């Protein structure tokens, strides 16, 4: 503490007082009030209501033997009302707003409170759980126009830029906190699959989720999403979804009604210093392709295994995360030809790629298993490129995987199957389709022989 006092004193002495400024004809002070005034009317508080179901708290009901006496496992449930709060940002004058998906997920009622205290109802237009974003439409009177925020180009941000977080912390009402952009392209925070986050030390607390992170001019550079904390309150490490990605999601939802993502149809790995030397590159930068899906956008454009992607649409590709971010956030990417600068066999060349929409997972490829067997209650799904990407499996992997395990049957039969486990064989039947899974589980047995793959290991178990 003794070391801090002289430092603080010297800093205070070096700052001109208001009286000195006025004496020098400078009746000004450092302030971001103009930036806040620009965006604050467009930042709203969000209050949601949801009905949560809770089963009667009886440990016997988790046992399949006792559960069968309670209407075949169906037991009375109690409903309770849950209320939560968050923030949002109006981005169009006709009342479309952006917030986090986790703020409005499962909400039966969404109430918007403006900075001036006015209240309105809102409905969900659509959501993007993978990026934790949601688009809302606020109830609008005829001819009414709402205050709205403008977006900045988040790709132009630099570490050290001023960042202001505006939202509704702890339900106290609209508040502003100031910090800087602490880091960019934060992708190792295990929040979503696609986004590289903006990290800031501007105070973000519960209730700030979905609010605006703005620059010194009041333009939105991101949507506040999460904090790193061990106490539930801010520790000076907050994360925001970059504005360019938010805009791409919003455009997709408002023009097509859903989230359509471009995809490469290939996967690769970061170029390390050792790889860069082996490949003849000057620096460890880019993505080395090690798998290209036949008939995917990459294959159709002429990309090959061993190519290194260096730039996309004129912008540097640092690693796999930055490549994914560029693909997700580049405007008007779908259906358009985009130049790729690649490294192949010791030389640079340019290839034009036409991105297609990522194949969607289909409900018809899923099935929830029922009956008296070790897999009862589990949900299985046929592998597809989209699911393979989610599970970090090779794009061409085929078969049936567990996407939701059954805890009750796991306890009853002692089978520990988890999400992502690939079923190989059940009682001598090789599993390649949903039909084969169902047929192999029809008859009752005293013993079940099940083979499955988890990661690089294959397990063969017998359960009864």
Report whether 42 contacts 90 (CB < 8 A).
yes
Highest mean predicted confidence (pLDDT) among 73-77, 299-303, 334-338: 299-303
Report the pLDDT value the prediction gives residue 264, as an integer from 0 to 100: 86
Active site residue 102: yes
Mean pLDDT (the chain) is 79
Answer yes or no: is pLDDT of 9 > 60: no
Active site residue 372: no
DSSP code, position 230 = S
All structural domains of the chain: 38-138 (2.40.10.10), 154-256 (2.40.10.10), 262-357 (2.30.42.10), 363-463 (2.30.42.10)
CA dist 249 and 170 (Å) reads 28
CA dist 457 and 450 (Å) reads 14
Q: What angle do CA 70, 76, 82 make, to 5 degrees?
A: 150
Answer yes or no: is pLDDT of 211 > 90: no
The single residue of 84, 102, 329, 421 carrying the catalytic annotation is 102
The single residue of 87, 154, 182, 209 carrying the catalytic annotation is 209
Answer yes or no: is pLDDT of 88 > 50: yes
Answer yes or no: is pLDDT of 156 > 50: yes
Sign of CA dihedral 167, 140, 130, 152: negative
Regarding predicted confidence, which is higher, 79 or 445?
Answer: 445
Regarding predicted confidence, which is higher, 138 or 171?
Answer: 138
Sign of CA dihedral 449, 441, 386, 342: positive
Report whether 355 contacts 338 (CB < 8 A).
yes
- Give the percent of the chain with pLDDT over 90: 16
DSSP code, position 195 = P
Give backbone dihedrals phi and psi of 292, rounded to 5 degrees, phi first: -125, 120
Regarding predicted confidence, which is higher, 170 or 106?
Answer: 106
CA distances from 16 to 11, 20, 221, 291 (A): 10, 6, 32, 61
Answer yes or no: is pLDDT of 119 > 70: yes
Report whether 220 contacts 241 (CB < 8 A).
no
Active site residue 84: no
Within 13 Å of residue 264, how many CA atoms lie on the same side as its CB? 26
The single residue of 84, 87, 128, 132 carrying the catalytic annotation is 132
Closest listed residue to residue 133, CA positions, set 258, 238, 255: 258
Report the pLDDT value the prediction gives residue 143, as an integer from 0 to 100: 83
Report the pLDDT value the prediction gives residue 274, as an integer from 0 to 100: 92
pTM of the model: 0.68
User: Directed axis angle between helix 243-256 and helix 320-329, to 10°?
Assistant: 40
Within 13 Å of residue 310, how many CA atoms lie on the same side as its CB? 16
Instruction: Using the structure block, give the residue that is written with the tokens 């340019």.
Output: 350
Answer yes or no: is pLDDT of 86 > 50: yes
Answer yes or no: is pLDDT of 14 > 50: no
Tens of pLDDT, residue by residue over 356-382, are 877 778 888 888 888 778 888 888 999
178: left (phi over 0), alpha (psi -120 to 50) or beta: beta
CA dist 194 and 209 (Å) reads 18
Answer yes or no: is pLDDT of 215 > 60: yes
Give backbone dihedrals phi and psi of 324, rounded to 5 degrees, phi first: -60, -40
> How much is the CA Rg of the chain, to the nearest whole Å?
27
Closest listed residue to residue 350, CA positions, set 389, 381, 311: 311
Tens of pLDDT, residue by residue over 220-272, are 999 988 776 655 555 678 888 899 889 888 988 888 888 877 888 888 888 99
Strand partners, 151: 220
Which band of pLDDT confidence, cut at 50, 70 and 90, is reported for residue 342? Answer: very high
- Give the percent of the chain with pLDDT over 70: 78
Could you tell me the two tokens for 89? 């940002």
Task: Map residue 67 onto helix, strand or coil.
Answer: helix
Instruction: Using the structure block, give the residue that is written with the tokens 């970090």.
Output: 392
Report whether 124 contacts 112 (CB < 8 A).
no
């Amino acid at each position: 503490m003794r070391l801090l006092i002289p430092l603080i004193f010297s800093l205070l002495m070096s700052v001109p007082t208001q009286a000195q400024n006025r004496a020098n004809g400078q009746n000004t002070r450092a302030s971001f009030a103009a930036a806040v005034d620009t965006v604050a009317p467009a930042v709203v508080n969000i209050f949601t209501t949801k009905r949560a179901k809770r089963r009667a708290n009886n440990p016997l009901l988790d046992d399949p033997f006792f559960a069968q006496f309670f209407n075949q496992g169906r037991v009375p449930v109690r409903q309770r009302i849950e209320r939560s709060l968050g923030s949002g940002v109006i981005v169009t004058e006709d009342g479309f707003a952006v917030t986090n998906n986790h703020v409005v997920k499962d909400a039966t009622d969404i109430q918007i409170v403006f900075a001036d205290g006015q209240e309105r109802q809102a409905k969900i237009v659509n959501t993007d759980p993978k990026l934790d974003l949601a688009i809302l439409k606020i109830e609008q009177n005829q001819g009414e126009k709402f205050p709205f925020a403008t977006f900045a180009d988040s790709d132009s941000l630099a570490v050290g830029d001023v960042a202001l977080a505006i939202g509704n912390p702890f339900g106290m009402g609209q508040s502003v906190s100031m910090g800087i952009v602490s880091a960019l392209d934060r992708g190792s925070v295990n929040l979503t699959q696609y986004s590289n986050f903006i990290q800031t030390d501007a105070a973000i607390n519960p209730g700030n989720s979905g609010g605006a992170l703005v620059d010194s001019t009041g333009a939105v550079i991101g949507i506040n999403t999460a904090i790193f904390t061990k106490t539930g309150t801010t520790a000076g490490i907050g994360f925001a979804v970059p504005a360019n990605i938010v805009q791409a999601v919003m455009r997709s939802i408002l023009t097509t009604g859903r989230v359509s993502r471009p995809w490469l149809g290939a996967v690769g790995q970061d170029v390390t210093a050792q790889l860069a030397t082996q490949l003849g590159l000057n620096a460890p930068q880019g993505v080395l392709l090690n798998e290209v899906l036949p008939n995917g956008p990459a294959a159709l454009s002429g990309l090959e295994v061993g190519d290194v992607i260096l730039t996309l649409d004129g912008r540097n590709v640092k690693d796999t995360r930055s490549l994914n971010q560029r693909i997700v956030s580049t405007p008007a990417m779908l259906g358009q030809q985009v130049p790729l600068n690649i490294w192949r066999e010791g030389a640079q060349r340019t290839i034009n790629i036409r991105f297609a929409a990522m194949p969607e997972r289909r409900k018809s490829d899923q099935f929830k298993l029922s009956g008296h067997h070790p897999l009862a209650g589990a949900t299985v799904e046929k592998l597809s490129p989209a699911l393979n990407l989610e599970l970090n499996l090779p794009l061409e992997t085929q078969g049936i995987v567990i996407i939701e395990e059954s805890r009750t049957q796991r306890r009853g039969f002692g089978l520990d199957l988890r999400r992502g486990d690939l079923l190989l064989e059940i009682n001598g039947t090789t599993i390649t389709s949903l039909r084969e899974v169902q047929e192999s589980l029809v008859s009752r047995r005293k013993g079940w022989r099940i083979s499955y793959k988890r990661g690089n290991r294959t397990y063969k178990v017998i359960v009864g």
